[in-house]
Chains A and B, each alone.
Chain A
Amino acid sequence: MNSRRHFLRRLGLSAAALPFVSNLSAFATTPARTARKQRLVVMFSPNGTVPWDFWPDEQGETFTLKRILEPLKDFQNKTLILKGVCDKVRGDGDNHMRGMGCLLTGIELYPGNIQGGSDTPAGWASGISIDQEIARFLQAKEETRTRFGSLEFGVMVPDRADTWTRMSYAGANKPITPIDDPYQMFRRLYGQVRDREVLGSILDSVEQDLQKISKVVSREDRHLLEEHTTFVRSMEEQLRTAANADAGHAVPVLEPGIREENDNIPQITKMQLDLLVNSFVNDFARVATFQITNSVGQPKMNWLGIDEGHHELSHEPNENKEAHEKLTKINTWYCEQMAYLVKRLSETPEPGGEGSLLDNTLIVWGNELGQGNSHTLDNIPFVMVGNGLDFQMGRSLVFPKVPHNRLLVALAHGFGHHLETFGNPDFCRDGVLTGLT
């Protein structure tokens, strides 16, 4: 830190200039040669799964992936399936609300004015979510600190803030809005790089103009403009230095003009996943959430030949084979998105480290319900892929209906953050979820 500050001072950069340079690799702190980078992605899709097409019949290391999880077959040895993990949080709100608001927080919703179904109305979750807790843990330490700490991606999240549309919480009553517009996410991630380019060329014009104007100004007044010119010049110089440093930076190119609408969900999802991979390459964050639509989400997957909304279909009884065929296709599509992310991560070498990004990343796929028609909060379809947390992958496990809080604690432990409990401590009496490592 000291040497960095010294270096900045030598460059003549004030603290206020830091936003322009702080994310440059050239300026980044050299991490002490300690542990590997570890990353977590929590992926969400709504409305429960189709159990018989999801859970493998076998337990242990030898198992066959069912239809929904089949897209992961190339990575089966990096996959861990967790049956029997249940969201036991009760209290206010309907199951869709609690499923969403308690998925990552493990704690009750506050009473409030959001009414779902016939249950009591509820408000926001009453605690922080595990992704934010881990991000906070990582940001607190010099060697794991990143520019953003965490990034919250979304795909077609409705433009309304309520208990069904938020799963990440910075604290009690502090839901975090996911960014579901890839262009907005791009601006957040790379806006400064673009600003640097634009500013550099604009300042060149400004400097010429300053010199021209200096000529008409009297001798006594000229010093003011001359001084100003030196500042503009030094800013230009800084920008040039920064631009050179940017050259090694991977800035993705987005396909322009993709509107935020139902039929563009596949493109938007891909764009967002690409941005996610890119932000890991640039080490902008070590934690991310990826929320496809929302709890009770209603995407109409026309691209699969399905005209009904997902939530509507999920209410159909088990006997409705046609509906469940569609639900299986829908959930398979979600899994394909996860598989795309897994593939991209596996193909991307870990910058400055060993192996691929996938070797240092754990993806957790979850859902607000176990199954849509029963609205059960048991057997949340949790699947994990990647070797980010030293879990023993390539297995299919079945737990005896354990509270999912214990899984949340296990995620923290995976990062070396040894929490005793997380969320409602009543659900953590048996400690961290065992058998994962």
Chain B
Amino acid sequence: MRHLSVFAFLLSISLTACSPGDERSGILDRGRLVYEAKCISCHGQNGTGTPDAPAPLFGDRPVSELADVIDRTMPEGAADQCTGDDARAVAEWMQQAFYSPEAQARLNPPRIELTRLTVAQYRNAIADLGTSFRWRTVPGSQRGLNADYFSSRNHRRDRRVFQRLDNAVNFQFGAFSPDGEKISEDAFAIAWEGSLIPRESGWYEFVIRTENGARLFVNNRATPLIDASVRSGSDVVFHGSRYLLSGRLYPIRLDWFKFKEPTASVQLLWKSPGSVEELIPERHLVPEGSAEVLIAETPFPPDDRSAGYERGISVSPEWDEATTNAAVEVADRVVASVRDLAKIRDNDNRTEKIREFGRQFAERAFRRPLDEETRRIFVDEQFAAAKSDEEGLRRVVIAALKSPRFLYREVTGTDDQLDRASRLAFALLNSVPDAALMEAAAKGQLATEDQIRQQAWRMVGDSRARSRMLEFLRSWMNLDRIQDIAKNPEAFPDYTDRLSADLKISLELFLEQVVDSESGDFRQLLLSDTIFMNGRMAQFYGAGLAADAEFQEVRFEPERRAGIVSHPFLLSGLAYTETSSPIHRGVFLSRGILGRGVKPPPIAVSPTAPELAPDLTTRQRVIVQTGPEMCANCHGLINPLGFALENFDAVGRHRGSEKGQPIDATGQYLQRNGGLTRFNGARELAAFLARSEETHRAFVRQFFHHMVQQPILAYGTDSIQELSESFKNQEFRLKNLQVEIAVRSALRGWSTNSQPVVANAPNSSP
């Protein structure tokens, strides 16, 4: 309502103002009249469509482009009836009446909806509920695992010979011992212990290679994930899998021993999600111990992603059933480790401790203190119905995790400071609030925006917030869609799965570098002139590193390459097995980076095979193929962006020519404000992207959606503008944006039907 009245107010100003306004309102009036006379019969009121032209009219094309299309093609079958100034006027009027995203938001104001936890939020919440009863380790700067070396096959304390830090478990002792003087080669043992930092959330496969005996413990101190302590036959490879969530540490221990076998060797490897089997790299191992993390492994149906981000807007019987199975799974895990979780000591009153733990568990799951009735239903009655304390606790956990108070976001609709705490925690950590935040809310210390911001800054230092940022950057680049890159082995014999995995790691390391850097400047993602490479990558791309070099930052073709724009992982992912794909690259740039709406092709087209056009370069072939009018609409936007990367082939190697013709890497982009920008090659393209407000706005919008899972325009139609300006004023510091988004979302809940946030953020310009 408010938006409409503001709009009316602006209109009234423009009506009474002097000449430029008069002129504009004249154009708009003319546009409206033209639309009503010539367009409305097919396109309907407000462009919503009719049976003749059912597709609703909305999009993000600039006025000039819209006018051009109308001029040339509309009305259908009588394109000469609406041309020149008429076409221009109707385009102007459509733009502000219903066509642009802003106009759409005004017509159909988006709403903050009640949502349930997404699957990721569910798993994170379970993990952090568990951890809230244990402890969290903040690792120091050391990497690798503590190693105890024993001169016996058992880990006997009195036979420990020395202790040291090993950066990886990768040893080939052959027929010898690790220490010829102190350890006999007949029988010896090593125990590696510390914690694991996973890369992304997902299933991790652990692999031990040894001809000796070994037991591996991951996130469970009592039961080994892999028990290969009985050496038997020729088996030397042992597997086991665990689901791990990013942003958390997991205890890991490998007990290994040699006993009479002629030789000894041991390797500890993993296969992280979407990667290949590799030695667990040093940077993912820390010597500090950590508490077990409570993980719900129950499979869930995937969340809705139709709006481009995961959100919990629907429920299904499969989801409901998954929540039941997961509740039972978690309850069993909680009961199994109740001694540890409830900190029960021998002299304690066990019953009392377990009941108190149950109450706290429900309270933390619900993110608010229990009122009398809730406590009766979810705690007291459950214990009363059970024959033992353990069974009672099991019931409490199942009931709490099946309750809408856990499963939905801020469901009680009180919209008090506790709800703010929840929104802040979910935005920044994708999880339930921690003790400090709950306490602040309870004490009324989340009353003002500054207080909320202060908490947000505290939380943004958490490893989970960092993970969330990295997770967003991956989603911003749509990395999910780039999997299993394969190249034609005849054309690129050295492009192996191993290399492809290296490229992914190289990109991940780059993202981490930008996120962790002092400036944390978003533009570095686009502009950086360095890249992470290991020996294998360097050999393949022709950079000067030793073949066995570890990953390191190098300046490689700095005059040609720029940040993610020319990163070989993206370049080879957005390409065919043998040739580059300007269309894939162009869609990535227009839809992902510039945030333009690009609709799927109107008809299914299979690309013209290069063999069918043997004389054409990729660029020429793409131009021919997308020549027809119905393609030109979108490909006029997509292709010239992708062409700017044509001097990188299907594997992201630089090239000067194709089929004997020099590469043409010129490209252009018609901005939404109508201005045309031209560029040649990756660096000019990246420079444009980094300074373009469209890029900034798209980044802000997507980051907001990723963090908040609600439409940004529901937080005020100026939200994108305000956050973009604040982002710019803060030198594009990623963490600042993360904080500002969290603060904005914390202030408004679904039940707040009152006024939108008044932007008093000190970082925003008025």
Contacts and interface: CB of A to CB of B under 8 A. Distances in A.
Interface string B310-330: 000111111011101100100
B232 A124 contact: yes
Interface centre among B313, B378, B402 (most CB of A within 10 A): B402
B231 interface: yes
Contacts of B235: 110, 173
A206 B399 contact: yes
A202 B395 contact: yes
Given A205-B378, A234-B317, A172 B403 contact: no
A161 B229 CA distance: 8
A231 B321 CA distance: 8
B317 A231 contact: yes
Contacts of A124: 230, 232-233
Contacts of A206: 399, 402-404
Given A112-B232, A205-B378, A198 B412 contact: no
Interface string A221-240: 10011011001101100000
A115 B751 CA distance: 70
Given A112-B232, A213-B405, A216-B412, A228 B321 contact: no
Contacts of A198: 391, 394-395, 398
B387 to A, nearest CB: 9
Contacts of B391: 198
A260 B373 CA distance: 42
A243 interface: no
Interface string A196-213: 001101110110111001
A407 B191 CA distance: 45
A209 B233 contact: no
B751 A228 contact: no
A235 B321 contact: yes
Nearest to A110: B233
A314 interface: no
B114 interface: yes
Q: Which of A114, A123, A202, A227 has the most CB of B within 10 A?
A: A202
A115 B257 CA distance: 14
B15 interface: no
B11 interface: no
| Chain B interface residue number, banded | 35 or more
B315 A227 contact: yes
B26 interface: no
Q: B231, B232, B325 — which one has the most chain A CB atoms within 10 A of its CB?
A: B232
Interface in A119-150: 121-124, 126
A333 B37 CA distance: 103
A181 interface: no
A434 interface: no
Nearest to A101: B232
A109 interface: yes
Contacts of A205: 377-378, 381-382, 399
Given A111-B233, A163-B230, A217 B114 contact: yes
A209 B324 contact: no
Nearest to A226: B315
Contact of B398 (A199, A221, A234): A199
Contacts of B260: 113, 115, 121
Contacts of A234: 317
Nearest to A109: B232
B233 A126 contact: yes
A253 interface: no
B404 A14 contact: no
A195 interface: yes
A13 B465 CA distance: 39
B422 interface: no
B413 interface: yes
Interface in A93-120: 109-115
Q: Lowest 10 A-B CB distances belong to which pairs? A: A123-B232, A110-B233, A113-B231, A221-B114, A231-B320, A124-B232, A112-B231, A112-B232, A110-B232, A216-B413
20 contacts: A16-B322, A17-B321, A112-B232, A115-B260, A122-B232, A123-B231, A162-B229, A173-B235, A199-B398, A202-B382, A205-B399, A210-B404, A216-B413, A218-B753, A221-B750, A224-B114, A224-B116, A224-B315, A228-B315, A228-B404
Interface of B: 111, 113-114, 116, 212-213, 227, 229-235, 259-261, 313-318, 320-322, 324-325, 328, 374, 377-378, 381-382, 385, 391, 394-395, 398-399, 402-405, 408, 411-413, 750-751, 753
